[in-house]
Amino acid sequence: MELSEPFNVLSLRHVPADPGAWGSSARIRLMVDGVDVVKTIHPDSDSSLVHEMLIGPPETWPLRAGSEPRRVELSNNYCDTGCCGGVFVTIERCGGLVVWTWENTDDIRVPLPPDSHFDADRYDAELDRVSADHSWEEPVDTAARLLARALVALDWYQRWNCLPEPWGLGVSVGDRGEKAHITMRFRVEDSSLATAFRRYTMAVTGSEPVEDQVRRFAERIDTVDPRSAAQPE
């Protein structure tokens, strides 16, 4: 594929969740050539990309480009896009390019931007950079990231025959401030249970290092069967 114009440039950053947004997770704001394209074509929307989507293995990151096209939700109307619409891109890696094709199911009358063409190496480097940037984190965000890392180290899901939610190994920020906590959601593989969906909740306090809180929590859930110990959804 030959381009007559220079590559587009993707930049990503973390921003606080908007008032009224689903959950308290930090959002990932994306810019193409310095323009917030999503806000331009879908104003007053909520970003569908959250911090926890980048704390799992790189192959699970929604913006990671592969040889097979993948449709990714970028925004929503503070509700399910199946009924209320949103902005999507189809992402595909074509040799040294990453191509985004835009779609707006919120309002098809709004003109769409042309396909975005990114240099694949720079694109991958930007994803790696934002996933490694922890300077913005509050303790509850750090706790979510460290718990996801601990679950991988323990091989927790395989050991207990459970399946995490698709992004972030099932770990998310539940609330901030005085009620700060993280939630770990998963599905247990046991047909005898009335509901197969379970969750653990871990409070995050300022009275001790986050690392110690996560270590103690991970040790506790690793010694008990989640089928009986975790809360049903």
Give the residue with greater pLDDT, 46 vs 5. 46
**Using CA atoms, how far apart are residues 82 and 166, in angstroms rounded to an integer?**
18
Q: For a pLDDT cut of 90, what percent of the chain falls above it?
A: 70
Q: Is the pLDDT of residue 197 over 60?
A: yes
Residue 115 CB-half CA count within 13 A: 14
Q: Is the pLDDT of residue 191 over 70?
A: no
Q: Is the pLDDT of residue 163 over 60?
A: yes
Q: Residues 106-147: pLDDT tens digits?
A: 988 888 999 999 999 999 999 999 999 999 999 999 999 999
Reported pTM: 0.86
* Residue 125, pLDDT score: 98
Q: Is the pLDDT of residue 47 over 80?
A: yes
Least confident interval from 1-5, 21-25, 219-223: 1-5
Question: What number is the average pLDDT over the span 17-21?
Answer: 72
